[in-house]
Amino acid sequence: MKIQLWREFLDPYDLAVKELITKFEHLKYEHKARGLYCPIEEVSGRVKSVSSILDKLKKKNLELEQMEQELDDIAGIRIICQFVEDIEKVVSIIRFRADMAVREEKDYITNEKTSGYRSYHMIVDYQVQTLNGPKTLKVEIQIRTMGMNFWSTIEHSLQYKYKQNIPDHIKEKLCNAADAIVVLDREMSEVRNEIMDAQNSMQIRANIVTEILLTIQNLYAVANKRDVAKIQDEFYEVYEKDNLEKLIRFHKNLDIIAEGYKAQGIEFKVWQND
Ligand code: 0O2
Q: Is the CB of 31 under 6 A from ligand 1?
A: no
* Amino acid present at 246: K
Distance CA 265, CA 36 (A): 19
Q: What angle do CA 188, 196, 147 make, to 5 degrees?
A: 35
Note if 140 is an active site residue: yes
Out of 140, 194, 237, 240, the active site residue is: 140
Helix axes 3-33, 192-222, angle to 10 degrees: 80
CATH homologous superfamily, domain 3-190:
Beta Polymerase, domain 2 (3.30.460.10)
Q: From the CB of 152, is ligand 1 less than 6 Å away?
A: yes
CA of 172 to the centre of ligand 1 (A): 20
pLDDT < 50 positions in the chain: 268-274
Ligand 1 centre from 117 Cα, in Å? 9
Could you state, in order of their start, the residue ranges of all structural domains in the chain? Answer: 3-190, 194-264
Q: pLDDT value at position 198?
A: 85
The number of the ligand 1 atom at minimal distance from the alpha carbon of 71 is 10
Q: What is the pLDDT of residue 269?
A: 43
Question: pLDDT at position 2, please?
Answer: 66
pLDDT, position 272: 39
User: CB of 149 closer than 6 A to ligand 1?
Assistant: no
> 97 CA distance to ligand 1 centroid (A)?
25
